[in-house]
């Protein structure tokens, strides 16, 4: 059955508030927390980076998340149509299209890294790291990631798993999967953090995480922290708009946003506690870069008592975290195709699978045979990462807060925050949140953009 504007009469929706929270947290907690956050902390001076990051989460991340929640829940529509529904006859729909493009780029390289996670889970189950030294493990990783077939197969498996969950829909696929996997994921990472913090010599790792060294902070640190906050909270890509469109009208979007941001940040800190103390306990430099998780950690696991088993749990956690995020990225694109081109979920899912599969293959091959294909001096993998995390997400975030704060305006914002006056939200809180959406978040985003152009 279809309604007058030819939309499916009944939209999928999340069954419960807990379901929304685990799905949102599932999207936020991902490779960003376990792979990107630890190495950025390592490269940017530890605690000082973390403090700047926390500042951006509150001043820019939270307002953008609230704005996306408002747009998605109010319109009950996917990325582009959400803007069309709320501002008919304008060009704001472009923001949604940028979000979809951003998701296509992210999922293409995300699926490749998720595939590496599968390979490393297999390696750890076979106890492949047991006798490795740092050099061996570096060679192991680079010969794997630059080869042709194995990474492609792993990417295919990862993407097929993702598409398999999304095909089952919002309630039966995304919500069900996240409800089981998210608690498991938290437990595993807490267990590894306890092991890491009780290693002899782990103290300096903890003080690196919690005692700021401001001398390492440069202008680049600020861009890295802002980009990471957006990537980790899945913002500016219309992902929150899409999930929020499945949220019921009586849910409290202020507390859902705050809880999602808190869960993601706490998880990143626990991941830091799982990784840094061990890195220091084994006398390794924390600034290893993107190889940290695939080279340094296996090296540490190979030396640590019970390391073989910890390795299995770590890569299992990495894979689960990556999957719950990948399904949210795919859902943005699938929901867009379903609503814009009136496709069935199955057809949209299979079609998008193929498009991302091809782009992901290019990303994977750009590590090896296609490494000479460069744009802006970057291979395809780095180009996709840069265009999405350092550019489209921030631009999307800026457009989204301006849209919610200025185009929709105060009445709509307050109406969504209080569910039409039925939730008792204190006036000071409404005013502060509106101020963050209207002024603080756009100013922070613009300042970073201008800073970047001047560099």
Q: Which residue lies nearer to ligand PHE by CB, 30 or 151? A: 30
What residues from 149 to 168 belong to the interface with ligand PHE (CB under 6 A)?
Answer: none
Phi, psi of 433 (to 5 degrees): -65, -40
- Residue 57 lies near ligand PHE (rule: CB under 6 A): no
| DSSP result, 45-92 | TTHHHHHHHHHHIIIIIHHHHHHHHHHHHHHT--HHHHHHHHSTTSST
For residues 118 and 319, what is the distance between their CA atoms, to the nearest angstrom? 7
Q: From the list 20, 21, 23, 31, which residue makes contact with ligand PHE (rule: CB under 6 A)?
A: 31
Binding part of the chain for ligand PHE, among 25-33, 147-155, 347-355, 430-438 by CB under 6 A, reads 25-33
Site track for ligand PHE across 317-336, x = CB under 6 A:
--------x--xx-------
For residues 435 and 188, what is the distance between their CA atoms, to the nearest angstrom? 39
Contacts of 409 (CB under 8 A, 6+ apart): none
CB of 237 to ligand PHE, least distance (A): 4
Contacts of 27 (CB under 8 A, 6+ apart): 234, 239, 243, 324, 325, 327, 328, 329
For residues 159 and 261, what is the distance between their CA atoms, to the nearest angstrom? 26
Q: Which residue lies nearer to ligand PHE by CB, 237 or 364? A: 237
Binding part of the chain for ligand PHE, among 80-88, 90-98, 232-240, 253-261 by CB under 6 A, reads 232-240
CB of 150 to ligand PHE, least distance (A): 23
Radius of gyration of the chain (CA): 21
- Residue 33 lies near ligand PHE (rule: CB under 6 A): yes
Q: Which residue lies nearer to ligand PHE by CB, 233 or 448? A: 233
CB of 102 to ligand PHE, least distance (A): 8
CA 374, 31, 42, 210 dihedral sign is positive
Q: From the list 43, 44, 75, 232, which residue makes contact with ligand PHE (rule: CB under 6 A)?
A: 232
Phi, psi of 375 (to 5 degrees): -130, 135
Binding part of the chain for ligand PHE, among 30-38, 44-52, 207-215, 398-406 by CB under 6 A, reads 30-38
Q: What is the largest CA-CA distance in the chain?
A: 67
Q: From the list 14, 25, 26, 32, which residue makes contact with ligand PHE (rule: CB under 6 A)?
A: 32
At 313, which helix (H) or strand (E)?
helix 307-341
Q: From the list 124, 202, 237, 242, which residue makes contact with ligand PHE (rule: CB under 6 A)?
A: 237
Half-sphere exposure of 338 (CA within 13 A, CB side): 25
Partner residues linked to 378 by β-bridges: 375
Q: Which residue lies nearer to ligand PHE by CB, 33 or 95? A: 33
Q: Which residue lies nearer to ligand PHE by CB, 75 or 324? A: 324
For residues 436 and 35, what is the distance between their CA atoms, to the nearest angstrom? 30
Local structure of residue 237 (DSSP, 8 states): S
Q: From the list 19, 25, 26, 27, which residue makes contact with ligand PHE (rule: CB under 6 A)?
A: 27
Tally the residues of the chain.
455
What residues from 74 to 113 belong to the interface with ligand PHE (CB under 6 A)?
Answer: 106
Binding part of the chain for ligand PHE, among 207-215, 233-241, 274-282, 298-306 by CB under 6 A, reads 233-241
Contacts of 433 (CB under 8 A, 6+ apart): 63, 66, 254, 413, 417
For residues 215 and 245, what is the distance between their CA atoms, to the nearest angstrom? 44
Q: Which residue lies nearer to ligand PHE by CB, 188 or 199? A: 188
CB atoms closer than 10 angstroms to residue 435: 13
User: Smallest Cα–Cα separation from 240: which of 64, 382, 370?
Assistant: 64
CB of 332 to ligand PHE, least distance (A): 7
CB of 250 to ligand PHE, least distance (A): 26
Query: How many residues contact ligand PHE, by CB under 6 A?
Result: 15
Q: Which residue lies nearer to ligand PHE by CB, 237 or 379? A: 237
Binding part of the chain for ligand PHE, among 65-73, 137-145, 234-242, 356-364 by CB under 6 A, reads 234-242
- Can you state the percent helix, strand and coil of the chain, rounding each to 5? 75, 0, 25
- Residue 242 lies near ligand PHE (rule: CB under 6 A): no
CB of 127 to ligand PHE, least distance (A): 28
Q: Which residue lies nearer to ligand PHE by CB, 124 or 328? A: 328
CB of 135 to ligand PHE, least distance (A): 29
Residues in touch with ligand PHE (CB under 6 A): 27-28, 30-33, 106, 231-232, 234, 237, 239, 325, 328-329
């Amino acid at each position: 059955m279809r309604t007058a504007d030819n939309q499916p009469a009944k939209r999928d929706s999340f069954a419960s508030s807990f379901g929304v929270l685990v799905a949102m947290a599932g999207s936020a907690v991902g490779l960003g927390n376990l792979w990107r956050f630890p190495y950025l902390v390592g490269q940017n001076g530890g605690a000082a980076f973390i403090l700047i990051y926390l500042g951006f989460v509150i001043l820019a991340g939270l307002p953008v998340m609230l704005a996306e929640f408002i747009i998605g829940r109010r319109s009950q529509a996917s990325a582009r149509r959400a803007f069309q529904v709320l501002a008919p006859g304008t060009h704001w729909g472009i923001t949604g299209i940028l979000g979809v493009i951003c998701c296509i780029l992210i999922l293409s390289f995300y699926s490749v890294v998720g595939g590496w996670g599968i390979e490393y889970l297999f390696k750890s189950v076979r106890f492949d790291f047991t006798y490795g030294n740092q050099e061996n493990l570096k060679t192991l990783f680079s010969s794997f990631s630059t080869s042709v077939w194995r990474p492609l197969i792993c990417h295919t498996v990862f993407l097929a798993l993702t598409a398999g969950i999304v095909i089952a829909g919002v309630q039966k696929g995304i919500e069900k999967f996240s409800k089981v996997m998210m608690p498991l994921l938290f437990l595993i990472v807490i267990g590894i953090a306890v092991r890491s913090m009780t290693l002899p010599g782990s103290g300096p790792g903890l003080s690196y995480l919690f005692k700021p060294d401001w001398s390492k902070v440069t202008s680049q640190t600020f861009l890295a922290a802002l980009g990471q906050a957006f990537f980790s909270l899945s913002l500016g890509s219309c992902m929150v708009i899409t999930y929020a469109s499945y949220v019921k009208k009586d849910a409290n979007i202020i507390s859902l946003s705050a809880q999602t941001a808190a869960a993601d940040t706490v998880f990143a800190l626990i991941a830091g506690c799982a990784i840094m103390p061990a890195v220091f306990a084994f006398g390794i430099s924390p600034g290893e870069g993107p190889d940290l998780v695939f080279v340094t950690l296996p090296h540490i696991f190979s030396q640590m008592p019970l390391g073989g088993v910890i390795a299995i749990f770590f890569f299992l956690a990495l894979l689960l975290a990556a999957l719950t995020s990948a399904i949210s990225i795919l859902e943005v694109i699938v929901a867009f195709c379903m609503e814009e081109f009136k496709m069935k979920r199955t057809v949209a899912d299979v079609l998008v699978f193929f498009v991302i599969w091809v782009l992901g293959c290019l990303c994977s091959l750009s590590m090896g045979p296609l490494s000479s294909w460069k744009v802006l001096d970057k291979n395809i993998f780095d180009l996709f990462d840069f265009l999405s995390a350092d550019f489209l997400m921030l631009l999307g975030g800026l457009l989204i807060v301006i849209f919610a704060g200025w185009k929709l305006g105060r009445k709509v914002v307050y109406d969504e925050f209080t569910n039409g006056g039925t939730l008792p939200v204190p006036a000071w809180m409404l005013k502060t949140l509106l101020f963050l959406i209207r002024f603080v978040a756009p100013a922070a985003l613009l300042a970073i953009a201008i800073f970047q152009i001047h560099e």
